[in-house]
Amino acid sequence: MIQRCAIAIATVLAVLTPQLAVAFPLQSGRYSNGTRSFLLVEREGQMCFQGFVGSNLYVTASISRDRDFDGFFKVHETEERLYQDTLSQLLAGPIHSLDVYDLLGEEPITINDLMNDCLDEDDDFY
């Protein structure tokens, strides 16, 4: 409960006072909150997301800066928002219900064909 309140406060501060928010650049890697995980990979300026959004939709999509919320990133064609809170944690989910995800250690990352297609794309990918 305390963690949820802290996340809510951090989200409100980041959204309402963007000049005070300190967001880090998105860090590539596999993130998990214990029940859900996803992969962020960057190659030559293109960053892509692969994992579940919502209750059961698995997507591979490009990521771009969110125009509505300073410091946030948006997974293309979804409501998924990403905010790199620290170098080893990020907030992810719909803007009204962000969860904390930890960057998993030095786990080897396997990039499948769909993720490669996303990373090779110059435009938005979904």
Q: Is 63 a member of any domain? A: yes
Q: Is 74 a member of any domain? A: yes
Tens place of pLDDT for every residue, the chain, 126 residues?
A: 555 544 455 555 455 544 445 689 999 999 999 999 999 999 999 999 999 997 789 999 999 999 999 999 999 999 999 999 999 999 999 999 999 999 998 778 899 999 999 999 999 999
60: nearest Cα among 77, 84, 43:
77
Q: Is 125 a member of any domain? A: no
CATH of the domain at 62: 2.40.128
| Number of independent structural domains in the chain | 1
Residue 66 buriedness (CB in 10 A; 0-12 / 13-18 / 19+): middle
Q: Is 126 a member of any domain? A: no
Distance from C-alpha of 28 to C-alpha of 116, rounded to nearest angstrom: 14
Domain that holds residue 34: 2-120
| Model confidence, pTM | 0.81
45: alpha, beta or left? (left if phi > 0; alpha if psi -120 to 50): left
